[in-house]
């Protein structure tokens, strides 16, 4: 039972940690956002989450001790029963073993911690408060560092034997590009921001020109963030346009395959790149799906995620409510 009206949600991503504090009506009272620290392994990440939850509480003008619970949406293998996260390689590359995340955060923040898969949590938020509200079946496609999926059937997240949703590892080209997961031809090998950056670096090494890395440095970044891609597209940088085009083709083919299989009502495009590029690019994905749809006269609705960068954290806060 909640002893307070306030809950926190934290969305752990490969690039940033977003936190919110919400009230009993799920209204956001405060928020914070910090870069995901890369140098200090899981302990560094834990410290950053703790700091970001405290900052969101401060932004909401409440004490962290007043929180009835904290939800965390995380990539990797998330085990809420045991309170652990393992294999969160997108967060820090050496995050292999089980980290007792719930215990560490709970002790530091003085409230119970609930864990969920980042993509499912983001999809649940879009279903509850965002672009998914009108539909009973959809797929949330989180287009960011990787490409994650949250499948909703009859208004419920489908988890299968626990690992469902990996649309990023749909094979869109047998024998195709090497994915960051090590496999070949995955959707994520073409559309994941990490794979796109690796491809851009290869092309630069081959002597091709781009403003991508200049823009990156000018923004004080060491990676091609969604903002860098967006800015490069504004500048009509040819390599950026080509790589985004390639990503849109792969997203179109991969998502159309899901629709052919499940005949869902809608697609919600979220994630760093998805929300940054917005509805015009969601519309382009819808166009690229059309040639592959088995029933093209009745395509699913394709929306950009409505909750934007806050969706994951708001969904994480829902984990507290759900217990």
294-323 binders of a second copy (CB under 8 A): 294-295, 298
> Does the protein bind a second copy through residue 30 (CB under 8 A)?
no
16, 184, 201, 235: residue in contact with a second copy (rule CB under 8 A): 184
> Does the protein bind a second copy through residue 160 (CB under 8 A)?
yes
58, 98, 166, 230: residue in contact with a second copy (rule CB under 8 A): 166
Cα distance between residue 277 and residue 275, in whole Å: 6
> Does the protein bind a second copy through residue 185 (CB under 8 A)?
yes
> Does the protein bind a second copy through residue 151 (CB under 8 A)?
yes
When the beta carbons of 51 and 176 are compared against a second copy, the nearer one is: 176
153, 214, 223, 234: residue in contact with a second copy (rule CB under 8 A): 153
Token readout for 268 is: 């919600």
Number of residues interacting with a second copy: please give it, by CB under 8 A. 44
The residue assigned the tokens 């009835």 is: 68
In contact, 122 and 142? CB cutoff 8 Å: yes
Strands 77-79 and 84-86: antiparallel
> Does the protein bind a second copy through residue 134 (CB under 8 A)?
no
Neighbours of 65 (CB within 10 A): 10
- Residues in contact with 43: Cβ distance below 8 Å, sequence separation at least 6, in sequence order: none
When the beta carbons of 138 and 215 are compared against a second copy, the nearer one is: 138
* Binding range to a second copy, per CB under 8 A, among 50-58, 88-96, 162-170, 303-311: 162-170
> Does the protein bind a second copy through residue 96 (CB under 8 A)?
no
Q: Which of 71, 97, 69 is nearest to 84 (CA)?
A: 97
225-284 binders of a second copy (CB under 8 A): 249-250, 253-254, 256-258, 260-265
> Does the protein bind a second copy through residue 173 (CB under 8 A)?
yes
Strand, coil or helix: what is 95? coil
Neighbours of 234 (CB within 10 A): 10
Strands 147-153 and 84-86: unpaired
CA atoms within 13 A on the CB side of 221: 18
When the beta carbons of 56 and 172 are compared against a second copy, the nearer one is: 172
* Binding range to a second copy, per CB under 8 A, among 1-9, 57-65, 160-168, 315-323: 160-168
**Backbone CA torsion sign across 274, 275, 281, 284:** positive
In contact, 317 and 280? CB cutoff 8 Å: no
Chain contacts with a second copy (rule: CB under 8 A): 137, 149, 151, 153, 158-167, 169-174, 176, 181, 183-186, 249-250, 253-254, 256-258, 260-265, 291-292, 294-295, 298
């Amino acid at each position: 039972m909640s002893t307070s009206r306030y809950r926190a949600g934290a969305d752990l991503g490969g690039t940033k940690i977003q936190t919110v504090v919400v009230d009993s009506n799920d209204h956001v009272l405060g928020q914070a956002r910090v870069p995901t620290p890369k140098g200090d392994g899981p302990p560094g990440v834990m410290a950053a989450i703790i700091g970001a939850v405290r900052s969101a509480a401060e932004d909401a003008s409440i004490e962290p001790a007043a929180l009835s619970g904290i939800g965390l949406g995380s990539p990797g293998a998330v085990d809420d029963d045991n309170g652990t996260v393992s294999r969160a390689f997108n967060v820090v590359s050496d995050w292999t073993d089980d980290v007792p995340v719930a215990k560490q955060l709970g002790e530091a923040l003085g409230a119970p911690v609930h864990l969920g898969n980042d993509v499912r949590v983001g999809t649940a938020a879009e279903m509850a408060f965002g672009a998914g509200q009108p539909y009973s079946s959809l797929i949330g496609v989180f287009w960011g560092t990787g490409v994650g999926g949250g499948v909703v059937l009859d208004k419920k997240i489908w988890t299968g034997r626990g690992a469902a949703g990996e649309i990023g590892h749909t094979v869109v080209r047998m024998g195709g590009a090497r994915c960051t997961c090590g496999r070949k031809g995955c959707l994520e090998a073409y559309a994941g921001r990490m794979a796109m950056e690796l491809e851009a670096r290869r092309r630069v090494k081959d002597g091709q020109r781009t403003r991508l890395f200049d823009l990156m440095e000018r923004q004080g970044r060491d990676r091609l963030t969604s903002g860098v891609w967006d800015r490069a597209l504004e500048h009509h940088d040819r390599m950026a346009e080509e790589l985004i085009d390639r990503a849109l083709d792969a997203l179109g083919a991969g998502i159309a395959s899901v629709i052919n299989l499940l005949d869902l009502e809608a697609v919600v495009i979220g994630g760093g790149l998805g929300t940054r590029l917005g509805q015009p690019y969601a519309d382009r994905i819808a166009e690229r799906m059309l040639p592959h749809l088995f029933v093209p006269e009745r395509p699913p609705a394709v929306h950009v995620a409505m909750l934007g960068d806050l969706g994951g954290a708001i969904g994480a806060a829902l984990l507290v409510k759900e217990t």
